[in-house]
Amino acid sequence: MNLEKVVFGFFIVLAATLNFGFFVGELDNAQHHDIYELFAAIVVNLIATVLKFGDRTQIGAIHLSTSLVADLQLIAAAAVWAWATHIAGTGLDAAWTAKVVSLSGGALFANVVSVIILIAETIMQRR
């Protein structure tokens, strides 16, 4: 068993599951979406992105691009959350919550694509 591939797969799947955990719930209800789970999703996605930098294959490039998309969307979601609570002064009402959750949904889709690529890459690998 290759420990590097285990760690790589672990962070890809963990990024997707944390993002899914944040995404699930009523779209406009802030009580269903925890800020700490969004933060954890961002951190784990950034770690997964760093792990993808070493691969110089075409599949590695697609892995990296999906990870960069997820990072961008999650960071944008956190920025919208911060804007709504600290700058706009309205707090995280239904409209702002829907924007944050929608951005995390885009990141979730990128994470799912990354997991599918990981599974396809594993299936194609020969011993």
Average pLDDT over residues 57-84: 93
Whether the Cβ atoms of residue 47 and residue 11 lie closer than 8 Å to each other: yes
pLDDT at 40: 96
pLDDT at residue 46 tops 80: yes
Average pLDDT over residues 31-44: 94
How far the first Cα of the chain sits from its last, in Å, is: 12
Whether the Cβ atoms of residue 113 and residue 66 lie closer than 8 Å to each other: yes
pLDDT at residue 66 tops 90: yes
pLDDT at 10: 95
Beta carbons within 8 Å of 80's beta carbon, 6+ residues apart: 96, 99, 100, 103
Whether the Cβ atoms of residue 75 and residue 45 lie closer than 8 Å to each other: no
Q: What pLDDT band is residue 127 in, cutting at 50, 70 and 90?
A: low
Q: What pLDDT band is residue 5 in, cutting at 50, 70 and 90?
A: confident
